[in-house]
Homo-oligomer: A and B are copies of this chain.
Amino acid sequence: MAKFEHHVFVCTNVREPGSARPSCTSDGKGPLHTLFKDEIRDAGIKATVRANKAGCLDQCEHGPTVVVYPEAVWYGFVQPGDVVEIVREHLVNGRPVERLMLPDGCINTARCMHRQV
């Protein structure tokens, strides 16, 4: 074995109530990480693809946020119902799900259509 073909980082960050920026989960866990793990297992790619919990990915206005490396594909506003499509299309078939991808201009920016400072 060697490095992961895909390494999926799922933000599980939760902030204090009233924080200036939103949280990706309300409980520090959220449903997405477990759903990714289950779908990756069911797709038979568990040996080469890992779903990982991550702390704050700093894209809070686009959460729940997921990033897939090494290809550095960022997904935003990911809902539980999107996980099957990301796993089957992107992680199995190598076709990132464009409708869920964050534009480069939304990443690490002080201002975008989702973040008005």
Contacts and interface: CB of A to CB of B under 8 A. Distances in A.
Interface string A57-99: 1100000000101111010000000000000000000000000
Contacts of A9: 9, 52, 54
Nearest to A111: B1
Contacts of A2: 104-105, 107-108
A47 interface: yes
A3 B108 contact: yes
A52 B53 CA distance: 11
Given A54-B53, A55-B53, A108 B4 contact: yes
Interface residues of A, number: 30
Chain A interface secondary structure, helix, strand, loop or mixed?
loop
Contacts of A54: 9, 52-55
Contacts of A109: 1
Given A50-B58, A69-B70, 10 more contacts: A1-B108, A2-B108, A3-B74, A3-B107, A4-B108, A9-B52, A47-B108, A52-B57, A54-B54, A54-B55
